[in-house]
Structure 1
Amino acid sequence: MTLIKYDQGLPNVANRSFSNFLDRFFNESFVNANKEMESFNPQVDVAEGKKEFELSVAVPGMKKSDFNIDMSDGKITISGERKFENEKDGKNYHSVETKYGAFSRTFYLPDNILEDKVEASYQDGILKVIIPKDEKKELKKTIQIK
């Protein structure tokens, strides 16, 4: 059984026919699908270990070549584009729930990292960026009270 959102905006009974309902359902589904495809923003998990920071970006269906990772001015930016490939194989899509489009995520980095040792890998739809800490630099300082 499918739940359907009730719309109070219907002005009269004529607009409540089953045919009109189906027309609205499919038309609105494709309009919303196009909006969703334009606003792809992958989920990112940020973790900190004793020796490194780890960013895990959930981007299934992409290739390694689809990503750009840039570091500058104390920030790391992960960007890319997930394209909808509508192959001409006789399929008619009635609903597209997967999100597509260009994305860019930027994260501020602490001062105690080793910028030249940052590594990235992509496996099973997860892009992992490992940012090692510089153990010589301490961010924690104790202030003596006078």
Structure 2
Amino acid sequence: MSLITQILSEDFPQFQSTNEISATDILSEVFPQFQSTNEISATAYARIDRKETPEAHVFKADLPGLKKEEVKVEVEDGRVLQISGERAAEKEDKNDKWHRIERGRGKFLRRFYLPENAKTDEVKAVMENGVLTVTVPKQEASNNTLPAILRRFLAFYLTLQFLSSRLDFSEENQTSRK
């Protein structure tokens, strides 16, 4: 225990028997309405790992304490994977006096744009031991298809070639226009 904690513990009971004192602890004692801002959830921004395997796009989220009924996985607009959920606050008994609230609670929502090769109608989600795993299978790539950006570039290039063949950019034509 630090010297400051020892000195303050004589006048402020919240300093007496703890090794971890934070500014939010003190503020919540002095200003009870401050405690509601302390309820910002650890799951408010659920951390999600995303990887791509040869067969699928895989998303993993640590969601400890959540049941699978409290988590929703859906595909919106054909290409947006949305993972959302909520951890509700515990029901309080009027006789209970909370000393510390550290476990996260609240809502979370994450969205991921899925690539063109995702089979969005075959999404699978599994919740096991507080870990959500979402698997989005990939379509088999055929060897004769070009990536979308190359197809667009090729279409643009061919359009330019077509237009330049139809338009006369010779010097005589340019001087006659002036």
Give the structure-2-normalised TM-score: 0.60
Name the amino acid aligned to 1:112: N
In the TM superposition, residue 90 of structure 1 has moved relative to its aligned partner by 6.0
Matched, 1:68 2:86: no
Report if aligned partners of 1:33, 1:95 keep a CA contact under 8 Å in 2: no
Report if aligned partners of 2:24, 2:38 keep a CA contact under 8 Å in 1: no
Aligned counterpart for 1:55 among listed residues 55, 59, 72:
59
Alignment of 1:1-146 (within 5 A): 1=1, 18=9, 19=11, 22=14, 26-29=25-28, 34-39=36-41, 40-73=44-77, 74-88=79-93, 91-136=96-141, 140=147
Q: Which moved more, 1:32-41 or 1:126-135?
A: 32-41
In the TM superposition, residue 59 of structure 1 has moved relative to its aligned partner by 0.7
Distance in 2 (CA, whole Å) between partners of 1:45 and 1:53 is 11
Q: Calculate the aligned-residue CA RMSD, in Å.
A: 3.5
SS at match of 1:37: coil
Report if aligned partners of 2:61, 2:132 keep a CA contact under 8 Å in 1: yes
SS at match of 1:28: helix
Distance in 2 (CA, whole Å) between partners of 1:31 and 1:119 is 42
- Please identify the structure whose Cα radius of gyration is greater: 2
Give the structure-1-normalised TM-score: 0.72
Report if aligned partners of 1:33, 1:97 keep a CA contact under 8 Å in 2: no
Q: 1:87 to 1:115 in 2, by over 3 A?
A: same
Gaps of 5+ in 1: 5-15
Structure-1 residue corresponding to 2:170: none
Distance in 1 (CA, whole Å) between partners of 2:57 and 2:35 is 35
- Structure showing the higher helix proportion among its residues: 2
Q: 1:134 to 1:32 in 2, by over 3 A?
A: farther
In the TM superposition, residue 26 of structure 1 has moved relative to its aligned partner by 3.1
Q: Which moved more, 1:71-80 or 1:121-130?
A: 71-80
In the TM superposition, residue 87 of structure 1 has moved relative to its aligned partner by 4.6
How high is the sequence identity, in percent, across the aligned residues?
Answer: 29
Distance in 1 (CA, whole Å) between partners of 2:85 and 2:105 is 11
How many residue pairs get aligned? The number is 134
Name the amino acid aligned to 2:128: Q
